[in-house]
């Protein structure tokens, strides 16, 4: 996983700062997946059957670079990118 504790072992680009639900993370990979964003937002809290997570991002590539990250999807990471993760629980 691309989570990096303020160091960059091995090769590749230096980590950039991203924000997930207002918390700061260092990320050293070029892309981040829907599942990786969810896991950082809610560690040790898997989605239950019928629950949905909506992941919106802003400050991405291409100007404003805002949109929605869908299950199974990935997105190219940019420094200071912001992710907001919302969970809808169905009963």
CB 13 within 8 A of CB 58: no
Q: Which tokens sit at 80?
A: 């200071």
CA distance 30 to 89: 31
The 10s digit of each residue's pLDDT in 18-36 is 999 999 999 999 999 999 9
For the ranges 10-19, 25-34, 45-54, 79-88, which has the lowest average pLDDT? 10-19
Tell me the H-state helices in the chain.
34-41
> What confidence category does residue 1 fall into, taking pLDDT thresholds of 50, 70 and 90?
low
Q: What own/partner pairs with CB < 8 Å and gap ≥ 24 does 9-16 have?
A: 16/77, 16/78, 16/79, 16/80, 16/81
């Amino acid at each position: 996983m691309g989570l990096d504790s303020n160091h960059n072992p091995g090769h590749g680009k230096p980590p950039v700062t991203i924000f997930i639900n207002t918390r700061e993370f260092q990320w050293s990979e070029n892309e981040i997946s829907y599942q990786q964003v969810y896991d950082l937002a809610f560690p040790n809290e898997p989605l239950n059957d019928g629950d949905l997570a909506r992941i919106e991002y802003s400050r991405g590539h291409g100007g404003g670079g805002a949109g929605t990250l869908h299950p199974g999807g990935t997105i190219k990471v940019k420094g200071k990118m912001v992710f907001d993760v919302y969970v809808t629980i169905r009963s």
